[in-house]
Structure 1
Amino acid sequence: MPAANMDSHEVTTRLHVDELILDYLLWFCTSSLLKERQLRLDDHVAKQEWTDAAKSADMGMRLVNSFTQTFKRLHPNAILPDSIALRQRICRFATVLLRRLDATSPTFTRVSQSGARTRAWLSRKRASNVIEDLTSSSSPSSNVPIAFEFSQTPFAPSNLRRNTEEMHRQMGFSGLPAAQRIYWGNISLREGLNEFMILSSWTCAFNDEVSTLWMETATNYMVQGVLEAYRCEGAKGIDALNECFSWGPTVGGDGLDDDETVVNEMFGGDGGSVGILFEKMKTEALLEVLPPDSTPLETHLDRLAEKHTWAVFEETLVSGYLTAVISAQPSPVLLQLESGKLNGFEDKDISTLLANAGVLVR
């Protein structure tokens, strides 16, 4: 029944039920992706078991994609409860990280906003690039390479293909038939870094804690973003480096959107000491990315990729950070939907709602 033909009680009930369904589907999608990843990387798992898990993960992404659009159409002015909005952030980050697509977007992709955000951040820092910001810091290195090192980009297409294949191999995707890699997008790690920071600021707001381990994970993410951008995507110039390392506390926050404001507040925690330590660790990571004198950028990044492998980073990020964030969330109310039941509602109503979500009703 269209919302316009419902009384206020019916509209409220429909919204509440749809929120519960969305919450469940977001949880199901994320859980299925993590299970599929675990089986994909396990050499001892039977092929059929992995195939079933892959189908479940793909179905989870389709359901989230479909029902998110249905939810917005039925409830265009609804504001999600914080718990569901957080689970949506978790799902979005998981799909971007593990499949390079956004299951919450109608097109499974997104328009990049990293460039605009980076320019605004650098403007607040009064720097044209992150290397310039580094050299103007309180404790700069005595031998900081200058930005023209990145004029050596982009690298040869054959090298980009080789590096991409190696990254897919470390993710466990290289040996899969093309038909089983349908749900693989082209969202960059730089966009994923944006989601990581926003999600982290949300969990920090709930838990009021930013650990040294988190800072290490964040700076490692920046390094991986640089490696992917230049070694796999063929980034040209210094923009990709700027996008990856333009994070940290800034002053003069006029014009910040809500997400950026919360991220900035996260770095301002503990009387500003969080931001100070983060800047120190970020500086160390940035100096590691910049090539030493007389070493070509591509050679240096290849060596860095051997030192900081994607496989180790992904395992740390997923099994450490992401698992901890997910474990801190309560289970969805509608886990009982797996049996097609929902206490307090008629079977007919549940069947209709499941059909709206794209679930096959038996």
Structure 2
Amino acid sequence: MSTDEYGIHEKEMLGQEEQQEQRQENGVEDKNRVRPSDHSHAAIQSRQMEDLGTALEVDHMILDFLCFQAINACFESRRSPPINDRLELQACLAQVDQFFLLFKGRYPTYRPDPELHFRQQLLQLVVLVTQRFRRCSATPVRSSLTALRAANQARARAWIGDASRLPTAAYNVRPFDEALPISTTEMEENRSLILEALGIPAEDDAYEDNFYGTSECVGLLDLLPLFMRVSAACHTMFECPPTKKWMELAAGWMLQGCLEQYLIFGASGSDAIDEAFAWGPGENLDLPMDEDTEEGHDTRQRNKSQDPFCLGLENDDTQLWQTIKSRALNTILSAEKQYWKDVASHLAAVWDKSSPAQAEKEITEFLVDLAECIPEPVLVQLQKGQLQGMTRSQTQSFIRSCGVDVAEILACIDGPG
């Protein structure tokens, strides 16, 4: 369902059995994990078509449909009691994972169109954001998460360039070195508070004790670059620069990512703040490379296409971003007396005032909006009996001319539900 070109190590999206084996080696067993039956995708795997072009089109439609279905299942899992929808969600994710591997095996050189590519990227972000609080089939293996964090830190260092460009350069960050990390008891209390606020049941002591907030759990800071890449893809697709609302969401993500690091994960020092806020127009946006070589030019262009701040911002927009980012920085690096006296209490007060549950809701609403900004998959439209831009009669004529049985395709998917 995703590849390393999206910025996450390939091992992160291993098949279900390989992920389980790695976790067993690490001494971790998740008894809620779904194991698809051997025959669950037999219909898809055995389907044969004489025309390769038609087969590719059908498989493309199926993959798009499965990604769409999994995205919606992720959102639904956050709206409903997780215990009721968890198995169905994991089955959806397993189905996408397996069919993506099948698709790559059948068409190794095929590159998806922009809409499917965007939906795949969005699925990865939606899964990791919505399912990060409890261990599940989508939880990255430790080696992948370690590699991701190293890559994120390297990106931030490249953007910063030198000490004068550190986001915290103008602030006294000594309290973050001297008064942190907070105690284990405080972290456990904070974890309980946020899980309760989000309506997520207490973790199962037998199998998932203290997963949220451990080094194996994905944090908002880890997902910030992926959020930026998905945003850049959306802005590029619709040829529109970042808006004020998006900038406020991005700054809020940075702020919440920092607070989560200090109050949930037990970080200390100012590195988390510098990494989170190392975004924006500037001269050091790319990793060092030989610009005169073709490879260097291609890499530079690819990096820019993944950064929403490299999409031709006007001077007014650049200034607006600096203002919004500075406001968020000032919030966490306040010069108030309480900050200098007790940084832990200051961070807790900021966390309480900023309402992490509300921030989580805004992030989820943004992801829902992204999911709705591109047309529904063709199979979903055909299920409804009408393709976008066609009447129902034209749609039926189109289906007959293609010689494709929609009901048969949907039946062969044999998905959950």
Q: TM-score range by the shorter chain?
A: 0.7 to 0.9
Q: Distance in 2 between matches of 1:181 and 1:353?
A: 35
> Structure 2 residue aligned with 1:119, among 129, 132, 157?
157
1:350: Cα distance to partner?
3.9
The reply to whether residue 195 of structure 1 matches residue 226 of structure 2 is yes
After superposition, the C-alpha distances for 1:253-311 in whole angstroms (9 at most, x for unaligned) are 55465553124464553423322211111011011101434232211111111101111
Q: Distance in 2 between matches of 1:78 and 1:151?
A: 53
Q: Which residue of 1 aligns with 2:127?
A: 95
Q: Which residue of 1 aligns with 2:168?
A: 131
Match of 2:281, SS state, is coil
After superposition, the C-alpha distances for 1:69-119 in whole angstroms (9 at most, x for unaligned) are 332333332211100011112111111111128988985964312111111
Q: Which residue of 2 aligns with 1:32?
A: 73
Whether the 8 Å CA contact 1:64–1:104 is kept in 2: the answer is no
> Structure 2 residue aligned with 1:344, among 391, 395, 403?
403
Q: Distance in 2 between matches of 1:69 and 1:105?
A: 18
The reply to whether residue 172 of structure 1 matches residue 199 of structure 2 is yes
Moved more, 265-274 or 109-118: 265-274
Q: Which residue of 2 aligns with 1:218?
A: 250
Gaps of 5+ in 2: 1-47, 288-298, 385-398
1:151: Cα distance to partner?
4.0
Alpha-carbon RMSD: 3.6
The reply to whether residue 333 of structure 1 matches residue 374 of structure 2 is no
Q: Distance in 1 between matches of 2:58 and 2:270?
A: 48
1:159: Cα distance to partner?
1.5
1:217: Cα distance to partner?
0.9
Whether the 8 Å CA contact 2:304–2:310 is kept in 1: the answer is no
1:231: Cα distance to partner?
0.8
Distance 1:205 1:86, change over 3 A: same
After superposition, the C-alpha distances for 1:124-147 in whole angstroms (9 at most, x for unaligned) are x66463211xx3xxxxxxxx3235
> Structure 1 residue aligned with 2:86, among 33, 54, 70?
54
> Structure 2 residue aligned with 1:145, among 168, 172, 176?
172
Q: Which residue of 2 aligns with 1:23?
A: 64
Q: Distance in 2 between matches of 1:223 and 1:271?
A: 25
Q: Distance in 2 between matches of 1:330 and 1:336?
A: 9
Percent identity of paired positions between Structure 1 and Structure 2? 22
After superposition, the C-alpha distances for 1:4-59 in whole angstroms (9 at most, x for unaligned) are xxx9974433332222111111111111111221224xxxxxxxxx6443333222
After superposition, the C-alpha distances for 1:184-216 in whole angstroms (9 at most, x for unaligned) are 871121122112111111111123142211111
Q: Distance in 1 between matches of 2:57 and 2:249?
A: 36
Q: Which residue of 2 aligns with 1:205?
A: 236
Q: Which amino acid aligns with 1:269?
A: G
> Structure 1 residue aligned with 2:368, among 315, 323, 338?
323
Q: Which residue of 2 aligns with 1:156?
A: 183
Q: Which amino acid aligns with 1:287?
A: N
Whether the 8 Å CA contact 2:167–2:274 is kept in 1: the answer is yes
Q: Distance in 2 between matches of 1:114 and 1:127?
A: 20
Match of 2:80, SS state, is helix
Q: Distance in 1 between matches of 2:203 and 2:324?
A: 37
Q: Distance in 2 between matches of 1:299 and 1:334?
A: 52
> Structure 1 residue aligned with 2:341, among 277, 284, 295?
295
Match of 2:57, SS state, is helix
Q: Which amino acid aligns with 1:289?
A: I
1:155: Cα distance to partner?
1.9
Q: Distance in 2 between matches of 1:169 and 1:105?
A: 21
1:248: Cα distance to partner?
0.8
Q: Which residue of 2 aligns with 1:186?
A: 217
Distance 1:352 1:288, change over 3 A: same
Q: Which residue of 2 aligns with 1:307?
A: 353
Q: Which amino acid aligns with 2:305?
A: V
Match of 1:131, SS state, is coil
